[in-house]
Amino acid sequence: MSLITQTYSTSTFSAVPSAGVVSSTASADSPVATYGLDGPWFPNASLQSSFMNSVTAGLFMGAVLLGVHTITLGHALVSAWHRKAARDRWLLLAVPSALWFASLIYEICSIVFTNQAWEAGQEGINSRTPFRYFWNNSNPDLTLASAAALLVSTVIADGFLCVRTVALWKTLWVSIPLVLVTLFAYGWDVVQVVYIANESNEGLLAIPYESTFIAPVITAQSLHAIFAILLVSRVATADHKTETRRISAKKWLIETVLPYALISVLFMGTYCGSSVAANVFLPMLVQTQGITIDLLIAHRKRRDGFLAVEPEDAASATMQLPAPVQAPSTTSGMSDTEKLTLAVMASKWEYGLDKKEPLPPQYSESA
């Protein structure tokens, strides 16, 4: 998931709060004309209100999903603790825990920043409004902390899905391109965090009139859709091979990470369309990263198989019928000579009953 930064350099605007005022003076050192803070490119009151509503809705959705994330974390930890291999157990305990802490830090930073913005607007210092607090990124430390938490969550979640997809497909034509796209998305994430750290007026939210880094956003969010497509194909293959049972809809959603891909596509579309609705989907995306990994870990069977819906072997799935039990033979304990004598005596008896004639000499002699 790409970190979203909004570039709107405040150096081109003067601090004069007069609406639409253009400075007519241009010195040799500053040849670019400067506009007032409420100049023609500054969002109007309606856009400012829409922006703040989107931020508030995003905080609410993020808080709700953080509660869901906490529940899924418990299920993931219980499932990981029952793993037989110690290496897998500790790894699967660390991954969901790190994702939960990263999402918690992001949500706390967002809440504190938004609260400071509302307080600044109520004080009315220098005609400030909550929107201007976001516009100027008045607390860059919180912004950097949330960006770093988002980077950690993205690297862990997408790395887990990349390794899982590669392990399920086991083909170079899938593994190599997928790893390269994942590393490319990682590179843009790191670059944007560094940019936020160096530019004090940069933030994560989608501010009106600004849609920076569209190409990285498309690359990063498309990666999540690629994960879903590959996993859907893999799960569909497993479902087709399983003749005696079918995969449930719940397992389909979990194994294919479709909710994660859906929110990623919605975020990409709203951000690239310069819509403030992206501010609603961004906190949801952060929490969904951890929830997705938690559900995958919780639904893994307590065995060495990596895919919970992987079909069983034909030998284990076929019903074994018991072998027919034969009655014990009365002649099983006799020797060959005794069996031959018994056969001759039976023949004499049958011959005498059927023919009613004297027996042949050989029968008489043997008797």
Handedness of CA 265, 253, 204, 94 (dihedral sign): negative
Handedness of CA 78, 81, 82, 83 (dihedral sign): positive
The per-residue pLDDT for 12 is 34
The per-residue pLDDT for 301 is 52
Q: Is 18 helix (H, G, I), strand (E, B) or coil?
A: coil
pLDDT at 16 over 70: no
> Which residue pairs from 340-349 have beta carbons closer than 8 angstroms and sit at least 24 positions apart in sequence?
341/366
The per-residue pLDDT for 35 is 35
Structure confidence at residue 11 as a pLDDT band (50, 70, 90)? very low
User: Which candidate, 59, 57, 97, 49, places its Cα nearest to that of 76?
Assistant: 97
Q: Which two tokens stand for residue 244?
A: 């005696």
Instruction: Work out the average pLDDT over 332-343.
Output: 66
The per-residue pLDDT for 321 is 46
| Domains of the chain, earliest start first | 44-302 (1.20.1070)
- One DSSP character per residue, 308-322 reads TTPPPPHHHHSPPPP
pLDDT tens digits for 55-70?
A: 999 999 999 999 999 9
The per-residue pLDDT for 312 is 40
The per-residue pLDDT for 320 is 46
The per-residue pLDDT for 289 is 96
Instruction: Work out the average pLDDT over 23-27.
Output: 36
The chain-wide mean pLDDT, for the chain, equals 76
C-alpha to C-alpha distance for 303 and 211, rounded to whole angstroms: 46
Q: Give me the helix-helix angle, 86-123 and 140-169, nearest 10°.
A: 150
The per-residue pLDDT for 31 is 34
C-alpha to C-alpha distance for 67 and 73, rounded to whole angstroms: 10
Highest mean pLDDT among 7-21, 108-122, 168-182, 248-262: 168-182
Structure confidence at residue 102 as a pLDDT band (50, 70, 90)? very high
pLDDT tens digits for 282-297?
A: 999 999 999 999 999 9
pLDDT tens digits for 136-156?
A: 877 888 989 999 999 999 999
Instruction: Work out the average pLDDT over 160-182.
Output: 94
Structure confidence at residue 359 as a pLDDT band (50, 70, 90)? low
The per-residue pLDDT for 9 is 37
pLDDT at 174 over 80: yes
Instruction: Work out the average pLDDT over 213-220.
Output: 80
The per-residue pLDDT for 211 is 60
The per-residue pLDDT for 135 is 80
Q: Which two tokens stand for residue 130?
A: 């909550």
Q: In this structure, are residues 297 and 89 in contact, taking their beta carbons and an 8 Å threshold?
A: no
The per-residue pLDDT for 245 is 57
User: Which candidate, 294, 283, 276, places its Cα nearest to that of 61?
Assistant: 283
User: Which candidate, 250, 235, 77, places its Cα nearest to that of 164?
Assistant: 235
C-alpha to C-alpha distance for 330 and 327, rounded to whole angstroms: 9
C-alpha to C-alpha distance for 155 and 293, rounded to whole angstroms: 12
Instruction: Work out the average pLDDT over 243-249.
Output: 64
The per-residue pLDDT for 127 is 54
pLDDT at 183 over 90: yes
Instruction: Work out the average pLDDT over 71-77.
Output: 95
The per-residue pLDDT for 283 is 95
Q: In this structure, are residues 76 and 92 in contact, taking their beta carbons and an 8 Å threshold?
A: yes
Q: Tokens 């409004």 appear where?
A: 129
The per-residue pLDDT for 20 is 36
The per-residue pLDDT for 209 is 63
Instruction: Work out the average pLDDT over 116-135.
Output: 76
Structure confidence at residue 53 as a pLDDT band (50, 70, 90)? very high
Output the pTM of the full model: 0.71
Q: Which two tokens stand for residue 259?
A: 């909710």
State the virtual CA torsion across 328, 329, 333, 337 in degrees, nearest 10: -170
C-alpha to C-alpha distance for 79 and 297, rounded to whole angstroms: 7
The per-residue pLDDT for 212 is 64
Q: Which residue has the higher pLDDT, 214 or 160?
A: 160
The per-residue pLDDT for 123 is 63
